[in-house]
Amino acid sequence: MLKIWSMKQKQQQDEAAATGGAKKKKVTAAQLRVQKDLSELSLGSTMKTNFPNPDDILNFTLTIEPDEGMYKGGRFIFDFKINQNFPHDPPKVKCTQKIYHPNIDLEGNVCLNILREDWKPVLNLNAVIVGLQFLFLEPNASDPLNKDAAEDLKANREGFKRNVRLSLGGGNVGKQTFDRVLK
């Protein structure tokens, strides 16, 4: 053991500064990574974050206000929960409102490949928010979570658009009543 330590001493350039005080808690690898990711977020004018507890950067919400496409005029709030195993594990993201969207179910689950099967530690939070933003520009009918919405979109795009408008205003589509999410 002592041998190894002396190797370490050689390896080290002398850091002159003295240490003092009790050792304190270390910033975790997950916090560190989220901090980096946050500084690289490009939110643009359509997105903003909200940190209910600013000291806790692992839990926050993201608001998206699409400025084009059929969801324009809506304000969509996603809840981000990041665990200490980030970036090995992907962030857990859910839509907090009940909305009419082929790729988001009524419980708020989001079908976005990089949130699940295609997540890799090299991906960052920006990739996730870009993916979310894209879902509102191009809802994908071929791999739906909300089957009714997908069928609707496939069958009649104009009709679907109307239903989206209805739902954004808090109206009914089929048997379901949706949350009012207009700005």
Partner 1 sequence: MDEATGTGLPNRPGAQRMRWKYLDNILTRHGPFTDPDWEPGEAAIEGLARAKLLGAGGLGCEILKNLALSGFQDIHVIDMDTIDVSNLNRQFLFRQADVGKYKAEVAAKFVEKRVKGVKITPYCGKIQDKDEEYYKQFAIIVCGLDSIEARRWINATLVGMVDDQDPDSMKPLIDGGTEGFKGQARVIFPTMTSCIECQLDMHAPRAAVPLCTLATIPRQPQHCIEWAHIIAWEEERKDITLDNDDPEHITWLYQKALTRAQEFNIPGVTYSMTQGVVKNIIPAIASTNAIVAASCCNEAFKLATSTNPFLGFPGTDNYMMYTGDESIYTYTFQHMKKSDCPVCGDDNIARPLQVDSDFTLQEFLDSLAERPEAQLKKPSIRSQEKSLYYQFPPDLREQTRPNLSKKLYELVQNGEEVVITDPAFPLTFKYKLVFK
Partner 2 sequence: MADLPPPVQGPTAKEKKYDRQLRLWGATGQRALEESHILLINNGPGVVGLETLKNLVLPGVGNFTILDSAVVSEADLGVNFFLEEEHVGGSRAEHTCNLLKELNPDVEGYFVSEPVESFLTNPDSLKPYTLIIVAAPIRPELLARLSEHASASSIPLFYIHSVGFYSHFSIHLPPSFPIVDTHPDPETTSDLRLLRPWPELVQFAEEKTKDLDNMAPDDHGHVPYVCLLLYYLKGWKKSHSGQPPQNYKEKTAFRDLVKNSARTNSPGGGEENYDEAVAAVLKSLNPPEPSSAVKELFKDPECLLVKEGASAFWIIAHAVSLFYTKYGVLPLPGSVPDMKARSADYIELQNVYKSKARRDVTEVTESVRFLERSIKRSTQIEEKDIEAFCKNAAHIKLVRGRPFHVMNAGKTVQWGERAKALAQNLTFQDSLIPLYIAFLAYDTFTVSHEKDGLDNPPRTPGDTDTDADVEQVTGIAFKIADDLIKEAGASIEESEYSEMKTWVGEYVQELLRAGGSELHNIAALTGGLVSQEVIKVVTEQYVPVDNTCIFDGVKSKTSVIRV
Return d(Cα 41, Cα 13) in angstroms, integer: 36
Q: 105 to 124, contacts with partner 2 by CB under 8 A?
A: 113
CB under 5 to 8 A by kind: which of partner 2, partner 1, none does 139 bind?
Answer: partner 2
Catalytic residue among 41, 106, 111, 166: 111
- Tokens 């679907």 found at: 160
DSSP string for 81-129: E--TTTTTSPPEEEESS---BTTB-TT-BB--GGGTTT--TT--HHHHH
Annotation says 95 is catalytic: no
8 A C-beta contact, residue 113 and residue 128 = no
8 A C-beta contact, residue 124 and residue 81 = no
CB under 5 to 8 A by kind: which of partner 2, partner 1, none does 26 bind?
Answer: partner 1
8 A C-beta contact, residue 156 and residue 150 = no
Q: Which stretch binds partner 2 (CB under 8 A): 73-81, 89-97, 141-149, 166-174?
A: 141-149
**Which of 44, 67, 83, 154 contacts partner 1 by CB under 8 A?**
83
Token readout for 32 is 């560190």
141 lines the binding site for partner 2 (CB under 8 A): yes
Q: 150 to 179, contacts with partner 1 by CB under 8 A?
A: 150
- Residue ranges that bind partner 1, judged by CB under 8 A: 1-5, 7-8, 11-12, 15, 17-29, 31-33, 35-36, 38-41, 43, 48-51, 54-57, 83-85, 88, 103, 105-107, 109-111, 113, 116-117, 119-121, 143-147, 150
